[in-house]
Amino acid sequence: MKTIDEVLLRMDEIVAECEQKNSRIGYFAILYRQVTRRIKKGIELQEFEDNPRMERLDVLFAGRFIDAYDTWKSGQQPTKSWDIAFEASKSSSYLVLQHLFLGINAHINLDLGISAAETVGSEPLEGIQKDFNQINSILAELVDGVKANISKVSPVFGLLIPLAKGRDEMLLNFSIQLARDGAWKYAGEYYSGVNREALIQDRDLNISNLAIKLIRPGKFLSFIVKIIGFAEWKSVSNTMNQLDIVAKKSI
């Protein structure tokens, strides 16, 4: 893929496939497609510091999710961070928000730094930081909108919020801003690294550990998650459709 339009066509295919197969991977795919649409609109409106470069970044960034999805679908092993997210999608025991965070965790914490460094090539990495932050701001705005309206598909999700106080739980305190800062730091390491493959493997191991914390939040919270899950919508396609409605309204 070389253009954002090609990315959107592939994202449409993935969303349709997930809906047809009742795959919970579609929850993240719905949100990420809307992020891509918003970036395309921003490029058309010349909102970014370097709009052609932003398109290159978006294509590389989206390509890592799409490649991971295609790799997993073919029965091969993607990065461990994505593998955990994809394997978790087979289970109905996780909340909608857990599935979303698993995708965001792999995509920002691992993929974004790599994509940013590869976009600039030999040019100074610092030049892309403003546009790098813009992608995260768009995603954060979208996730905030979804969380604010999650009660439609998860009527008792609000029970989790009071439990966040004083608890160092990944599920409750997942922060796109913190993920962005970590991703930018990693982009610098990857940019200047000699053995990039080793850097990816090491980073992937660390991020996969965060993914495990997202789906295993401790005994007490796991019990609460199970209760909340009972009240969530069971239809994957209906949940995807509702997420699509919320996503379109959020950004």
Confidence at residue 226, expressed as pLDDT on a 0 to 100 scale: 87
Q: Over the stretch 53-91, which tens digit does the pLDDT of each residue have?
A: 999 999 999 999 999 999 999 999 999 999 999 999 999
Domain boundaries, the chain: 4-250
User: 93 and 214 in contact (C-beta within 8 Å)?
Assistant: no
What are the helix (H) ranges across 45-175? 51-73, 80-88, 96-106, 113-120, 129-148, 160-163, 170-173
H/E run at residue 212: helix 196-215
Longest dimension (CA), the chain: 51
Q: Which residues of the chain have pLDDT under 70?
A: 161, 163-170, 172-173
- pLDDT, residue 13, reads 98
pLDDT at 206: 96
User: What's the confidence (pLDDT) of residue 163?
Assistant: 63
H-helix or E-strand containing 32? helix 25-44
pLDDT reported for residue 172:
65
Q: Look at residue 147 in the predicted model and tell me its pLDDT.
A: 84
Q: What is the distance between the alpha carbons of residues 228 and 160, in angstroms, rounded to a whole number?
A: 8
